[in-house]
Structure 1
Amino acid sequence: MIRSINKVMAPAMRGIRLMVGRGVLALVNDAAKMQTVQVKLLDGEVRDMERFQNYGFTSYPQVGAEVAAVFVGGNRDHGLVLAIDDRRFRLKALQAGEVALYDDQGAVIKLSRTGIVINGGGHAINISGAAQVNVTGGDVIADGISLKTHKHGGVTAGGAQTGIPV
């Protein structure tokens, strides 16, 4: 009796076992409307799959990153990549509740417990396309010089304004 039940259930159990997979990223195609990736899964199994990303966020992961994939109905020909992570570059030592965007070169935007931290990872930080940048309720400090409290020499109080910096 048990042997008969196992025989009937075997295809369903095999499908369930094949529904979720873990693999290593081998290739990225970012040209299509939905990014596609090639993933090395089980021993010798290589699949091309669509990669789902959250709206408003996108990335181009490095080859060698780790992949979590699902296969609709256990059909290995219809795989979808739901997550890609890369332990080689993952930002560590965040506090509970903190969030960060980061890349493999050390650039970070971190929503920390003490404020928003932007680190260009040794590269320039550019703000483009903005007609202006507004700062309200605070101060802008560049190289230790406050925009609100800095003083200019050689100007009489109430006198002529200083010229444009040279």
Structure 2
Amino acid sequence: MDARNVAKLLSPIKRGLQMVVARALVTAVGQGRAQSVQVALLAGEAKDGVEHAEPYGFTAHPHAGATAVVVFVGGDRSHGIAAVVSDPRYRPADLAAGEVCVYTDQGDEIRIKRGGELVIKAATKVRIETQVLEVTGEVRDRCDAGGRTMAEMRQTYDGHTHGGVQPGAGSTAVPNQGM
């Protein structure tokens, strides 16, 4: 069999394989428990209702313009799955080898750094909703500005006194030490 005949026989297989995976741009995102995206594939092909498969325990609402890798099982273009959606416009570019980061487009991050350090960066507030919060190490207030640990503050509080107490006055003088 000559090369032309082999190419002719393999042509449908080649076309089928080319239909299995595609790179796309996200153009819209649906709401709900099973998130779907609308994507623009190469050569102007648009697909709506593409399932956005996400790892268990992680979810995101990507912006329009994010990139996606879309898989069409068996090459059937009627049902695509966005296997990966990423957005390099917002990805932190300063991670060291082995570091992990969960991030938003606004710069908020949860970063697991080398050496056992976890850094939470939030522009306005960190809120922890739980009945009990346990910390095994020291807690330091204003750590970048010479702050004190909780143990140091406790020591100051336990050792402070008030002067000028007068019976029946209802108030005391200013403590002899600040926190």
TM-score of the superposed pair, with normalisation by structure 2: 0.80
In 2, Cα distance between the equivalents of 1:92 and 1:16?
33
- Structure with the bigger RCO (C-alpha within 8 Å, sep 6+) is 1
What residue is the counterpart of 1:70 in the other structure? 71
What residue is the counterpart of 1:159 in the other structure? none
In 1, Cα distance between the equivalents of 2:76 and 2:41?
14
In the TM superposition, what are the counterparts of 1:72-151 in structure 2 within 5 Å? 72-114=73-115, 115-120=117-122, 122-128=123-129, 130-136=130-136, 138-143=137-142, 144-150=147-153, 151=156
Larger-Rg structure: 2
Give 1:149 shift. Answer: 1.6
In 1, Cα distance between the equivalents of 2:26 and 2:161?
63
Letter in 1 for 2:35: Q
In 1, Cα distance between the equivalents of 2:10 and 2:96?
46
Matched, 1:47 2:47: yes
Give 1:5 shift. Answer: 2.6
Letter in 2 for 1:27: A
Letter in 1 for 2:11: A
Give 1:11 shift. Answer: 1.2
SS across alignment from 2:74: helix
Give 1:145 shift. Answer: 2.1
In 1, Cα distance between the equivalents of 2:84 and 2:161?
60
Q: For structure 2, list consecutive stretches of 5 or more residues without a partner in the other structure.
A: 163-174
In 2, Cα distance between the equivalents of 1:155 and 1:61?
56
Paired residues, what number? Answer: 153
Give 1:75 shift. Answer: 1.7
The alignment yields a C-alpha RMSD, in angstroms, of 1.7
Give me the identity figure in percent.
Answer: 37
Greater share of strand? 1
Letter in 1 for 2:138: D
In the TM superposition, what are the counterparts of 1:15-26 in structure 2 within 5 Å? 15-26=16-27
Give 1:94 shift. Answer: 0.9
Give CA deviations for 1:121-152 in whole Å, capped at 9, x if unaligned.
Answer: x1211111x1121101x111112121012213
SS across alignment from 2:44: coil
Give 1:154 shift. Answer: 3.3
What residue is the counterpart of 1:12 in the other structure? 13
TM-score of the superposed pair, with normalisation by structure 1: 0.86
